[in-house]
Structure formats: C-alpha cells, structure tokens
C-alpha cells in the first residue's frame, strides 16, 4: 500500500494517469478506528479516515480457474493500492493543502468518469466524497458515475436474503473460493488487517455477482436502474432540509398538555388509574373491568395475531365507542401520542441545527423494491392535519382550536419553492395494464383525465351517475380497490372498512365481478409463480416465493398474496425509480437547472426549486414522468397513460395545485 501523502509531484501525476487508464478500480472507505467498510458491520459509523484505492490495469490474469496463484497478495501483477487521506480540516488550516488537493483530484477522476468502479456500500462512499468536496464541486460532476455495489447486486438476485455483511456475501456468492482463502475460512481471513487483500476479494465477489446477474438477465436492470439510483440517493441524502424547529418545540408542548388532559379523562372514564399507552393494561380495563365485549356479541371483535387475546386496536375501539366514553378517548390519545412521539419529538431528535437529513436506502430489507427512508421515516409523516381542542380554564374564554400539521414544519429555503409531483393512482393504472381488464382500461383511457378516477370507478361499479355519489362511496371504492391490489383478504378489509367480513367479502366479490380480468390476472400471476418459483415486475425485477408450493395452507396463501402484491407494488416502485433517475439526469445535464430532489414518498417526488425556475422545471418533471408510459429499453409499454399531479408551495404542508396547461381536457 502506498500512502498518497508520501508521493512526489511526479509520482502523483503518474498515479493520476494510471487511474484514468485503469481497467478496474476497487474502493473502500477506511475509518479512523482502523476498520473498513468491508469489516463486520458496525452500527455506529466512526469518522472516516480515508479511502483505499486499488487500481487494476490488466483485466484479471487469473482466469485460469482455481489456480493456486490466486492468493491475495501474490496476484499483485498489474495492481496498485493507494491510500487517500480524507481529512476534514478547518478551512483555515493550510498545511497539507497539496495532499488534500491531490485526494480530491483522484476522487474526482474516479467518480467523475464512467469507468468500472467497485465499492461495497457505494452510497456511503458517495455521500462521504460529496461532503468532502463540499462546495468545491457541483454534484453534477459525479452524476454519471455508476459504482458497482455487490450488496445491491446480491439484493437484486434475491431480495428476501436480508442485508448480509461483506464476508457473509463472500461466503454465499463467491464461486471462486480460491481467491478468498488459500486454506483458512473466510472468517479467519476477516480477522487479518489485510485490507488490500480484501479489495481483491471484493473484486472477485463483484465479478461472480456480475456473472450471476448476467445469467439471470438482471444486468441491465442493475446497471441502468439500481446503480444510477445510488447516485441519486446519495445526492438526495447530502441535501439538507430546512425544518421549523421553534414550531416543532411549541407543538411538542401543546401535544404534551393535550396528552395529560386525555390521560386524566381516560382515568376518569375507566374509574381507575392505568397506563393509557399500554395495550395490555387497556385490555384489562376494557374487557375484565368494564366487560364491554359482552355487550356487543353480534359483532366480531378482532383478536391479536399471535395470542388469542382481545385486541385493543383501532378497529375494536371503533366498534366499542358507542358503548362507553373510554374507547373514543383512547383513540384520540393514540392519535395525538403517535404524532407527538414519532413526528414531532422524533424529528426533533434527528435534527442538526435547523436542518435535518433523512437516510435513504434502496437495498437491505426492502423485499418489494421501493426505496425507504429512515431516521426519521419521512414517508410516514401524516398527510392530513389534526385538530386539537385546547381547553381553557380561564372563565369566559372559548376553547381554542389548534391545527397541527407535521408536514408544514418542513419549509423551503429563502428564494426556493417546494414542488411535489404525484403519480396519480400508479398502482391502479398498473393493475389496469397488467390485467388488461377492458372496463378498468376504459376508466383511464377515456378523455376524462381531469376527472377523479375513484369517482368514475365508483359510478361505473355501482351503476350510478357521478353526480349522485356520496363522498363515502368514493372512499369505499378506493379502499376496496387497494385491498385487491395489496392482496388483503376480506377479513383485513372488514377491519379497515369497519364492516363485517361478510359485507366486505361481498364488496370484493362485486368488484371482481365487474372487473373480471382482475381475478384472471391474480390467478395468472399465482400460476406463473408456481411454475417458475418467482414473480417478475414490469422491469424484470424478481421475487422468489418458495412457499407458493407449500402444503401449509396459511403459508401458501400468504405467498399467493405476496406474489400479486409484488407484481403491482414492485412495478410501481420501478416506475418511481425510473422517474427519479430520468429527472436527475435531466437536471445534471442542464447548465441552468438547480432543482434538488428532497424526498420520495412512494409515488410522490418532492423537489426544492429556485423560485424563478418553478414553471420550467414543473414542465420537465411532468413530461419526464408521463413519458414513462413507454420505456423502450425495458420493453415497457403501458396500455394506460400516466398522469402526474403537480403542486407547489413554501411549506410541505401547504402545497397548492399547479395549473397544468398541457393536460387540460380537450373537450369544450
């Protein structure tokens, strides 16, 4: 290993030339405690010390299978390992300036080009690099880089096999064991501090994974979707979102007061003290003390899944709320408590000054394919506001009503605006496409693009004119549709709808009666899964479901639902990922556009856009997203058009719909 800081000016120039010409570059980050990204997974990420770079000028000399010359270390021909120190030094510290510059030059040379680069957990490296560069380079300069990441490759091969660490992956996926260990086990090798040897193992691993991906026809998906997405996510993660901390703290206090008040009311209603947030204590009060279940034997009360205990879930409490004041109080308590703990205090605890950065992941345990957000989960922040009635004990004052909306705590920077682009009913449109149900297709193909799909669906299904429908009909239609899409059974639907299982079953039946091809699609999907052992999304991503042939009825049924669910949700995830990539590339190649992607909430993309560019960018986003109806390189040709809803505003909580000139109905 050669330390870049000890190189002379000439040697550095040589290294840069070699880097530009290298056929393969293998990277890993090294932390200050001496561990690397390749070591057993660390929960807390220590500060980064530098990056280890392996330059390989020859395309693998050891292709003669199983040759004992494949020892790490003896394989060094055409290899060079360089250590780049990445020191986060204060701006005023001038010493080491040249080394710092060289590190940056090297990194940019590696990340700015389109060579074969390999790194385990590439997103972390990209984030670190981008932070290291700071404002010296634009993220656009690394927008094209595609780092081959074995973790993502393995996930694509089998999404169910949950995030294994590097050495587990090697043990599982490396066919050429000779490269890993001469005689000892992989585990033993791991103990050695031979990080540069590990880089060669990383290289072998990636080559083997590449072969597997190519065999299974997943290579294109890997390169042009998952890898490109890594860059998108890294850039998104670097961007800080502005949060109104004062408002959050104020809200926290108000919610705290409200919780105390509700707690007292609950105790009063129950006639005893108990821990309101404890479901087991509530169960005792509700069913042993008050014996509410005895008063509603006509209704079936849900039970907890694992034990045959009485559930205290929302569905139960809804049924009981007419019998006693307590259930209603608990429902409100839970709602307020959830908002306070998860979305107010939760966000406060992950904030760094007035900003915060959520973590984004497109791998690990996401079996269905969608990307996920963590710390906090920005995707689960309530869509609608809640009303809090603050009781005033001062005489003569009206009770004060306060509206609380966690999304409005997210505010755009001065001079910038949030732009949200929502794929309207992607999943339903996909269901129409996948099932080719003529009735369902008609809903989307007719020139009623401006109308509400669920209303027309409800009217079509109930045989009533749209004007005669009530809002609850629309809600019901929506819920039934999605329960079919998600593969939920009638029991689950009855809980959601607050009806009996029979009624819910009837709704599902009549839906499937109307849209006959949907049932055919479900059966076709299950059949295909049984034949091939896996189901495939619209862009070719797979999920293996071994239980589809299980003799166990429960397991098999679950696998059947998962199969249908995956095809629809997985395909929706594919489209959203493509949308992110396409828009990202568009911005990157534009000299003027500065818009940044901030968050992805399943089928909604949230951007922060300079005020002056909102209109132009909105057009780009809409065109790009709607053009995904046809993705030629993946053979995607949807039978239904895609529709995008655009809205903008200064806070995420108060977005107003944007006029969309192009999509106005062409009728009178």
Partner DNA sequence: GATACGACGCTACG
Partner DNA sequence: CGTAGCGTCG
Q: Residue 44 or 395: which CB sits closer to DNA?
A: 44
Q: Residue 275 or 323: which CB sits closer to DNA?
A: 275
Candidate segments 93-101, 167-175, 191-199, 371-379, binder of DNA by CB under 7 A:
371-379
Considering only residues 557 through 596, tell me which ones interact with DNA, judged by CB under 7 A: 558, 561-562, 565-566, 569
Q: Is 376 in the site for DNA (CB under 7 A)?
A: yes
> Which of these, 574, 627, 77, lies nearest to 362 by C-alpha position?
574
Residue from the set 115, 131, 224, 281 that interacts with DNA by CB under 7 A:
281
Q: Residue 196 or 316: which CB sits closer to DNA?
A: 316
In the complex, the smallest distance separating the C-beta of residue 342 from DNA, rounded to whole angstroms, is 4
Q: CA-to-CA distance for 131 and 113, rounded, in angstroms?
A: 19
| Torsion-angle region of 436 (φ positive above 0: left; ψ -120 to 50: alpha; else: beta) | left
Report whether 24 contacts 170 (CB < 8 A). no
SS (H, E, C) 526-582: HHHHHHHCEEECCCCCEEECHHHHCCCHHHHHHHHHHHHHHHHHHHHHHHHHHHHHH
Q: Residue 364 or 629: which CB sits closer to DNA?
A: 364
Report whether 647 contacts 656 (CB < 8 A). yes
Q: CA-to-CA distance for 666 and 668, rounded, in angstroms?
A: 7
In the complex, the smallest distance separating the C-beta of residue 427 from DNA, rounded to whole angstroms, is 7
Q: Residue 582 or 602: which CB sits closer to DNA?
A: 602
In the complex, the smallest distance separating the C-beta of residue 483 from DNA, rounded to whole angstroms, is 8
Candidate segments 206-214, 306-314, 435-443, 617-625, binder of DNA by CB under 7 A:
306-314
Residue 135, CA distances (Å) to 15, 372, 594 in order: 25, 27, 14
Q: Residue 220 or 328: which CB sits closer to DNA?
A: 328
CA 391 to chain centre: 40
Check residue 398 and report its DSSP letter. Answer: P
Residue from the set 365, 527, 532, 589 that interacts with DNA by CB under 7 A:
365
Q: Is 163 in the site for DNA (CB under 7 A)?
A: no
Considering only residues 602 through 631, tell me which ones interact with DNA, judged by CB under 7 A: 602-604
Q: Residue 349 or 627: which CB sits closer to DNA?
A: 349
Q: Residue 49 or 648: which CB sits closer to DNA?
A: 648
Q: Is 252 in the site for DNA (CB under 7 A)?
A: no
Candidate segments 93-101, 182-190, 358-366, 635-643, binder of DNA by CB under 7 A:
358-366
Residue from the set 379, 500, 530, 590 that interacts with DNA by CB under 7 A:
379
In the complex, the smallest distance separating the C-beta of residue 367 from DNA, rounded to whole angstroms, is 3
**Contact partners, residue 516, CB within 8 Å, separation at least 6:** 437
Q: Is 328 in the site for DNA (CB under 7 A)?
A: no
Cα angle 627, 630, 636; round to 5: 145
Residue from the set 114, 306, 401, 668 that interacts with DNA by CB under 7 A:
306
How many residues belong to the site for DNA (CB under 7 A)? Answer: 60
Q: Is 352 in the site for DNA (CB under 7 A)?
A: no
| Torsion-angle region of 625 (φ positive above 0: left; ψ -120 to 50: alpha; else: beta) | alpha
Q: Residue 79 or 572: which CB sits closer to DNA?
A: 572
Residue from the set 50, 72, 197, 346 that interacts with DNA by CB under 7 A:
346
Residue from the set 373, 417, 494, 571 that interacts with DNA by CB under 7 A:
373
372's tokens = 């996920």
Residue 5, CA distances (Å) to 19, 84, 194, 250 in order: 16, 8, 20, 51
Q: Residue 57 or 162: which CB sits closer to DNA?
A: 162
Candidate segments 87-95, 252-260, 302-310, 464-472, binder of DNA by CB under 7 A:
302-310
Element holding 507 (H helix, E strand): helix 501-514
- End-to-end Cα, the chain, rounded Å: 73
Residue 384, CA distances (Å) to 375, 457, 652 in order: 21, 24, 11
In the complex, the smallest distance separating the C-beta of residue 501 from DNA, rounded to whole angstroms, is 15
Q: Is 654 in the site for DNA (CB under 7 A)?
A: no
178's tokens = 């000779």
Q: Residue 462 or 519: which CB sits closer to DNA?
A: 519
Q: CA-to-CA distance for 119 and 132, rounded, in angstroms?
A: 17
Cα dihedral across residues 362, 605, 113, 129: positive or negative: negative
- Binding mask 544-563 vs DNA (x if CB under 7 A, - otherwise)? --------------x--xx-
**Contact partners, residue 433, CB within 8 Å, separation at least 6:** 441, 638, 639, 640
Residue from the set 55, 381, 508, 640 that interacts with DNA by CB under 7 A:
381
Residue 420, CA distances (Å) to 343, 431, 612, 653, 657 in order: 20, 24, 16, 11, 9
- Binding mask 411-440 vs DNA (x if CB under 7 A, - otherwise)? ----------------x-------------
- Binding mask 488-507 vs DNA (x if CB under 7 A, - otherwise)? x---x---------------
Residue the block writes with tokens 């106005």: 664
CA dihedral 35, 41, 42, 48 (to 10 degrees): 40
Q: Are strands 644-649 and 416-423 parallel, antiparallel or unpaired?
A: antiparallel
**Which residues in this chain contact DNA in the complex, by CB under 7 A?**
275, 277-281, 304-307, 309, 311-315, 317, 331, 334-335, 337-338, 341-342, 345-346, 349, 361, 364-368, 372-377, 379-384, 427, 486-488, 492, 558, 561-562, 565-566, 569, 601-604
């Amino acid at each position: 290993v050669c330390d870049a800081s000890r190189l002379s000016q000439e040697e550095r120039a040589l290294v840069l030339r070699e880097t530009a010409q290298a056929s393969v570059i293998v990277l890993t980050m090294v932390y200050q405690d001496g561990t690397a990204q390749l070591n057993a997974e660390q929960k807390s990420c220590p500060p980064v010390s530098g990056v280890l770079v392996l330059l390989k000028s020859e395309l693998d000399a050891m292709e003669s299978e199983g040759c004992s010359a494949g020892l790490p270390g003896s394989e060094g021909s055409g290899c060079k390992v360089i250590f780049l120190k990445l020191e986060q030094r204060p701006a005023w510290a001038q010493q080491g300036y040249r080394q710092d510059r060289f590190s940056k030059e090297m990194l940019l040379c590696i990340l700015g080009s389109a060579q074969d680069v390999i790194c385990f957990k590439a997103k972390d490296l990209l984030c670190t690099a981008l932070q290291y560069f700071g404002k010296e380079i634009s993220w656009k300069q690394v927008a094209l880089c595609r780092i081959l990441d074995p973790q993502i490759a393995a996930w694509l091969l089998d999404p169910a096999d949950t995030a294994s660490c590097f050495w587990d992956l090697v043990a599982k996926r490396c066919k050429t064991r000779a490269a890993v260990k001469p005689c000892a086990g992989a585990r033993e090798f791991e103990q050695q501090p031979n990080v540069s040897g590990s880089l060669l193992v990383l290289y072998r691993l990636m080559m083997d994974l590449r072969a597997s991906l190519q065999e299974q026809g997943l290579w294109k998906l890997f390169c042009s979707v998952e890898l490109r997405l890594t860059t998108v996510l890294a850039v998104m993660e670097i961007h800080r979102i502005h949060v109104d901390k004062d408002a959050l703290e104020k809200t926290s206090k108000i919610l705290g007061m409200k919780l105390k008040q509700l707690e007292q009311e609950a105790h009063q209603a129950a006639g005893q003290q108990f821990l309101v947030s404890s479901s087991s204590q509530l169960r005792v009060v509700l069913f042993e003390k008050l014996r509410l279940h005895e008063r509603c034997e006509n209704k079936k009360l849900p039970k907890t899944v694992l034990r045959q205990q009485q559930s205290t879930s929302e569905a139960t409490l809804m049924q009981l709320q007419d019998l006693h004041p307590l259930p209603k109080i608990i429902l409100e308590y839970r709602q307020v408590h959830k908002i306070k703990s998860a979305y107010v205090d939760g966000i406060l605890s992950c904030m760094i000054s007035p900003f915060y950065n959520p973590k984004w992941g497109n791998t690990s345990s996401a079996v269905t394919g969608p990307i996920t957000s963590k710390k906090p989960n920005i995707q689960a922040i309530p869509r609608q506001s809640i009303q809090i009635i603050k009781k005033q004990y001062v005489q003569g004052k009206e009770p004060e009503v306060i509206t609380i909306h966690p999304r409005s705590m997210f505010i755009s920077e001065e001079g910038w605006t949030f732009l949200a682009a929502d794929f309207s009913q992607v999943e339903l449109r996909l269901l129409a496409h996948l099932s080719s149900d003529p009735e369902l297709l008609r809903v989307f193909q007719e020139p009623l693009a401006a109308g509400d799909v669920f209303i027309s669906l409800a009217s079509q299904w109930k045989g009533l004119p749209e004007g005669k429908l009530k809002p609850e009909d629309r809600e019901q239609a929506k819920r039934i549709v999605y329960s079919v899409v998600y593969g939920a059974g009638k029991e689950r639907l009855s809980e959601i709808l607050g009806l009996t299982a029979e009624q819910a079953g009837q709704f599902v039946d009549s839906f499937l009666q109307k849209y006959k091809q949907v049932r055919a699609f479900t059966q076709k999907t299950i059949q295909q899964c049984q034949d091939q052992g896996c189901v495939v999304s619209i862009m070719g991503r797979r999920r293996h479901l071994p239980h589809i042939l299980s003799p166990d009825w429960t397991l098999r049924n679950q696998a059947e639902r998962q199969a249908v669910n995956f095809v629809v949700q997985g395909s929706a995830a594919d489209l959203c990922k493509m949308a992110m990539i396409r828009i990202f590339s568009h911005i990157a190649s534009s000299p003027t556009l500065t818009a940044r992607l901030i968050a992805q909430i399943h089928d909604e993309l949230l951007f922060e856009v300079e005020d002056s560019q909102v209109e132009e960018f909105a057009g780009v986003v809409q065109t790009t997203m709607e053009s995904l109806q046809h993705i030629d390189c993946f053979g995607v040709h949807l039978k239904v058009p895609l529709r995008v809803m655009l809205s903008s505003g200064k806070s995420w909580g108060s977005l107003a719909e944007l006029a969309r000139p192009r999509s106005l109905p062409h009728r009178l």
